[in-house]
């Protein structure tokens, strides 16, 4: 199988015998190579392995570069795809793991929301693929009815063509031309993020297979009486000339005006009127009642009378009483406009009030608006208010913050408008979707969103599925024309089928005209998990093998609009849940927690981030920076820090590579990468430092594997990061140098090389789902055979030695304490110091065995080092460090510092701190300060004084110790 680097592994060199008491037979059964660099150690050692699945190799012609080259990411991705690694296993008995990608809009360009879902889903897929499951990630794009039509209309306008200048078929043709030319942009950008989708199964929601599924779904729902046509209130976009879904309406707080005006009481006196406040005075032209609270003493006398609608030539409407009205809000009198307000529409339905529509579909006023007919809605508002002022019906205006509904696509103010539309009765569907959650078949991560899901489905409204567009799935309804007194329509899968039904019913002379509306984009995407697998053909191999899918990962903001609808549609059409787990991620915000927007200028472009920091750093930042359902505050600092992690990983690979055998100056081919420690006995044969790092690795594998299983992806990434950086790189690699760089440690060097490889091999596998590119590049440098992307996931439940782990952690604390003491006494970084350790038992044996590591990491002088069972005679002339119960360290000051110079330095420090402490004490003893200063200031002052007092005590203790040494020098 081809390999991405242009390299060929060298032949295996023959194993050499040990020149020490450690024999070949001692380690042969462990199943990993012991390697030692001939450039560092005289006696090179290599042992055979047990099971070999892929071989270690490094090629002298392909040494690791100084840093990982981000430009290689596209090469690696192309190689993965060419080798078919993204396809699921074809073995019939392999357990499937399936994710249907939330299809991005075909008009889209990559943004951080896309980067988030790609990262999380790719992590899931790569992990399951390495576990050997038939992992399928289904990619695709959504036709995005409104967004795409807008893009093409703007393109046509640049050519001087309006949409309505074209026939529908010609316009659709132009949209397809645009899609074929530009529609692949977003999928190519998803590839740049490392998305390991099966691109051979890529779908588009207007593909024939998916379009057939949409028609089938519509026909089935209609035949069950779950789809109907009626006139109801919808969100109307005047510029787009279509109804839009709730999801496509964004609310923003904007400065506006609250208008107060008079509604005269019919046949009343000059002072008989109801004061009403409104933010949209033009809608009064469609008022059909004025409501007051039945207990409101101000207006009780007007209940049951008629009010005159201003500027309507005396049109009268009833004054009604309803407890819905809040007496304390506004004027306590509420104008009811059922045709242009959703709340008023509900009241009108309840009370049987007439509905008057005053608005055309383009936002201008119609004939019901009287003298304002033809005016734009906002122009009508200005004209009407001026007329009210002239008629002495205006009371006043005042500034008011409005919650303005705007079209997500066009940006214009959306109007509530009663319109003839197609609807789905959702309650019967919702009941089954609720039951799936209640009985535990459906799991939502994080769990708190189950309440949101339940609330929405419990209070669900019928779904308006029609859109007044040309681009999309045209509704499969044909109206009967040309037959007198017939107002009927035919629902069918094709026009031919519709004619067969119509002619049988009305004769051969009937004419059919197809519904001009298209379906809401969410209707087709609601079928996505199963339409992409071949439904309604349930015999298709993909459907029988991969449906239901496993996980639906998406943003929490579309839980209602898409996830819940997929659940409803999946149960309705397949009898099964479309997925068993819903994983919801949060929004990606800027470093200050603000939503990214071009207006704020705070947008972080994923492609720019990839160019600067690399895909791996971006992915790791997104995956580890948040938890399910929580928003992520993204900063360039975090990206840069994780670029540093990429570099750290790369540098660790360079270190290991440079310390493998280099006979004749070249890197030798070595043995298997299948390095395993499967029993306690095998682990016990290792030196103690190696026992520690291997045991820690085995614990990491268990913890990370569990986090992957539970989809705690952030926790998994953070655990790998902490282990690699804080334990492997900072501690074991440093410790391994004592084996690798000392000629007297040839057998230990061999062991260290193998353990370095073993740990690095497993870290690369654990980290690969997060950071696929740099891990694959390193893997290819070291290990030949299968690619890392399809290498097996590390085994769990491998042995761990608690004793060595505890002992090494004690040694870590010892080294840290010595380092802190060196820093405290300003010891030069390179200077080696004396130390005496007091301990006994197994801990003493451990420290004795690992003296070289202790000397190297704590910068201790081997000549003056002592390991005792009792306190040294001159302990009073040394710094005492209590590390734990049974271990103390004594650092003779005479070997650490120039006593007189250190006394002089500390004396100056004491004088300065004492002066600051005295000043704070004076403030705190002042009655005036305590009474007048804010409590927080007093508290901060006291806290600072306490800290200074503690530091002074510690420094004075140092001074006392140094002064005693100045009098009686240590031996």
Listed ranges 243-252, 438-447, 658-667; the one with the highest mean pLDDT = 438-447
Range in 546-555, 747-756, 787-796 with the lowest mean pLDDT: 747-756
Q: Report the DSSP pairing between strands 242-244 and 588-589.
A: unpaired
pLDDT single digits (tens) 276-317 = 999 999 999 999 999 999 999 999 999 999 999 999 989 999
Q: What pTM was estimated for this model as a whole?
A: 0.83
| Alpha-carbon span 705 to 128, nearest angstrom | 11
pLDDT single digits (tens) 18-64 = 223 333 233 333 333 334 433 333 333 222 222 323 444 444 345 78
User: Which residue in this structure is represented by tokens 């992409």?
Assistant: 532
Mean pLDDT of 73-86: 96
| Cβ partners under 8 Å of residue 898, min gap 6 | none
Mean pLDDT of 634-656: 95
pLDDT single digits (tens) 679-730 = 888 899 899 999 999 999 999 999 999 999 999 999 999 999 999 999 999 9
**pLDDT score of 189:** 93
| Alpha-carbon span 800 to 691, nearest angstrom | 8
pLDDT single digits (tens) 800-843 = 999 889 999 999 999 999 999 888 888 888 889 989 999 988 88
- The terminus-to-terminus CA distance of the chain in angstroms comes to 69
Main-chain dihedrals φ then ψ at residue 655, nearest 5 degrees: -60, -45
Three-state SS letters, 822-868: HHHCCCCCCCCECCEEECCHHHHHHHHHCHHHHHHHHCECCCCCEEE
Mean pLDDT of 155-175: 93
**pLDDT score of 905:** 77
Q: Is residue 902's pLDDT more than 80?
A: no
| Alpha-carbon span 237 to 416, nearest angstrom | 9
Q: Is residue 667's pLDDT more than 50?
A: no
pLDDT: which is higher, 671 or 721:
721
pLDDT single digits (tens) 741-784 = 875 557 888 889 999 999 999 999 999 999 999 999 999 999 87
Count of residues making up the chain: 971
Name the 3-class secondary structure at 290.
strand
Longest dimension (CA), the chain: 123
| Alpha-carbon span 324 to 334, nearest angstrom | 10
**pLDDT score of 252:** 87
Q: Identify the CA nearest to 18 among candidates 657, 673, 674, 748.
A: 748
Q: Whole-number mean pLDDT of the chain? A: 87
Q: Is residue 911's pLDDT more than 90?
A: no
Alpha-carbon torsion, ordered 247, 252, 256, 260, to 10 deg = 50
pLDDT single digits (tens) 385-432 = 999 999 999 999 999 999 999 987 778 899 999 999 999 999 999 999
DSSP per position, 446-488: STTHHHHHHHHHHT---EE-EE--SSS-B--EEEEESSTT---
DSSP element (H, E) containing 260: strand 249-264
């Amino acid at each position: 199988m081809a390999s991405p680097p242009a390299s060929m592994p060298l032949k295996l060199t023959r194993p050499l015998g040990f020149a020490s008491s450690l024999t070949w037979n001692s380690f042969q059964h462990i199943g990993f190579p012991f390697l030692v660099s001939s450039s560092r150690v005289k006696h090179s050692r290599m042992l055979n392995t047990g099971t070999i699945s892929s071989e270690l190799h490094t090629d002298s012609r392909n040494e690791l570069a100084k840093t990982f080259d981000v430009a290689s990411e596209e090469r690696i991705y192309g190689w993965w795809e060419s080798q078919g690694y993204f396809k699921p296993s074809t073995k019939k008995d392999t357990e499937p793991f399936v994710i249907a990608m939330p299809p991005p809009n075909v008009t889209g360009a990559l943004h951080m929301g896309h980067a988030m879902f790609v990262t999380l889903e790719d992590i899931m897929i790569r992990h399951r693929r390495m576990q050997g499951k038939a992992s399928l990630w289904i990619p695709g794009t959504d036709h995005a009815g409104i967004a795409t039509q807008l893009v093409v209309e703007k393109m046509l306008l640049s050519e001087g063509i309006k949409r309505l200048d074209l026939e529908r078929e010609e316009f659709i043709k132009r949209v397809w031309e645009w899609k074929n030319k530009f529609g692949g942009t977003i999928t190519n950008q998803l590839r740049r993020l490392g998305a390991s989708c099966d691109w051979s199964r890529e779908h588009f929601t207007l593909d024939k297979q998916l379009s057939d599924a949409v028609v089938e779904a519509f026909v089935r729902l209609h035949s069950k009486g779950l789809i109907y046509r009626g006139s109801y209130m919808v969100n109307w976009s005047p510029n787009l000339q279509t109804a839009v879904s709730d999801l496509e309406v964004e609310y923003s707080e904007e400065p506006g005006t609250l208008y107060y005006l008079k509604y005269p009481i019919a046949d009343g006196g000059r002072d008989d009127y109801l004061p009403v406040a409104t933010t949209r005075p033009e809608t009064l032209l469609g008022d059909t009642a004025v409501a007051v609270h039945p207990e409101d003493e101000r207006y009780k006398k007007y209940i049951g009378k008629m009010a005159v609608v201003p500027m309507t030539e005396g049109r009268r409407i009833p004054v009604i009483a309803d407890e819905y009205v809040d007496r304390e809000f506004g004027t306590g009198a509420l104008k009811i406009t059922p045709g242009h307000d959703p709340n008023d529409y509900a009241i009108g339905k309840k009370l049987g009030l007439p509905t008057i529509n005053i608005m055309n579909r383009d936002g201008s006023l119609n004939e019901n608006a009287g003298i304002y007919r033809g005016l734009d809605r906002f122009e009508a508002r200005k004209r009407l208010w001026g007329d009210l002022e002239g008629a002495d019906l205006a009371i006043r205006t005042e500034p008011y913050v409005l919650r303005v509904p705007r079209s997500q696509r066009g940006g214009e103010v959306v109007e509530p408008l009663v319109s003839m539309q197609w609807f789905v009765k959702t309650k019967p569907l919702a009941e089954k979707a609720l039951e799936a959650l209640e009985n535990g078949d459906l799991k939502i991560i994080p769990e708190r969103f189950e309440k949101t899901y339940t609330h929405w489905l419990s209070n669900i409204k019928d779904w308006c599925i029609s859109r007044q567009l040309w681009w999309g799935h045209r509704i499969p309804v044909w109206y009967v024309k040309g037959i007198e007194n017939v107002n009927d329509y035919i629902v069918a899968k094709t026009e031919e089928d519709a004619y067969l039904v119509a002619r049988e019913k009305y004769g051969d002379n009937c004419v059919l005209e197809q519904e001009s509306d298209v379906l809401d984009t969410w209707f087709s995407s609601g079928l996505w998990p199963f339409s992409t697998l071949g439904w309604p053909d349930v015999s298709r191999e993909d459907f029988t093998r991969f449906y239901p899918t496993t996980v639906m990962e998406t943003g929490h903001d579309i839980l209602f609009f898409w996830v819940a609808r997929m659940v409803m549609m999946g149960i309705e059409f397949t009898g099964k849940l479309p997925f068993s787990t819903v994983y919801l991620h949060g929004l990606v915000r800027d470093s200050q927690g603000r939503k990214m927007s071009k207006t704020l200028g705070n947008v972080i472009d994923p492609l720019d981030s990839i160019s600067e920091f690399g895909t791996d750093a971006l992915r790791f930042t997104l995956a580890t920076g948040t938890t399910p359902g929580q928003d992520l505050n993204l900063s360039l600092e975090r990206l840069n820090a994780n670029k540093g992690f990429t570099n750290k990983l790369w540098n660790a690979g360079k270190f290991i590579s440079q310390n493998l055998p280099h006979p004749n100056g070249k890197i030798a081919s070595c043995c298997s990468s299948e390095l395993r420690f499967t029993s306690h006995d095998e682990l016990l044969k290792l030196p103690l430092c190696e026992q520690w790092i291997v045991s820690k690795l085995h614990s990491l594998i268990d913890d990370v594997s569990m986090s992957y299983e539970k989809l705690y992806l952030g926790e998994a990434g953070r655990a790998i990061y902490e282990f690699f950086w804080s334990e492997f790189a900072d501690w074991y690699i440093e410790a391994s140098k004592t084996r690798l760089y000392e000629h007297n440690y040839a057998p230990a060097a061999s062991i260290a090389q193998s353990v370095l490889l073993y740990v690095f091999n497993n870290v690369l596998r654990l980290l690969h789902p997060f950071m696929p590119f740099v891990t694959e590049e390193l893997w290819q440098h070291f290990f030949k055979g299968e690619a890392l992307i399809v290498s097996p996931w590390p085994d769990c439940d491998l042995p761990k030695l608690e004793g060595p782990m505890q002992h090494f952690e004690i040694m870590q604390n010892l080294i840290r304490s010595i380092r802190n003491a060196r820093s405290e006494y300003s010891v030069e970084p390179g200077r080696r110091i004396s130390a005496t350790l007091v301990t006994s038992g197994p801990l003493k044996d451990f420290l004795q065995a690992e003296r070289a590591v202790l000397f190297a990491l704590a910068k201790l002088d081997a000549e003056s080092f002592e390991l005792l069972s009792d306190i040294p005679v001159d302990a009073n002339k040394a710094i005492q460090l209590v590390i734990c119960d049974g271990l103390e360290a004594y650092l003779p000051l005479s070997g650490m510092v120039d006593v007189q110079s250190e006394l002089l330095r500390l004396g100056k420090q004491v004088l300065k701190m004492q002066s600051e402490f005295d000043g704070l004490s004076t403030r705190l003893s002042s009655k005036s300060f305590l009474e007048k200063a804010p409590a927080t200031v007093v508290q901060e002052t006291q806290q600072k004084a306490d800290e200074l007092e503690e530091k002074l005590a510690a420094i004075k203790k140092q001074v006392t110790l140094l002064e005693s040494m100045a009098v009686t020098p240590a031996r």
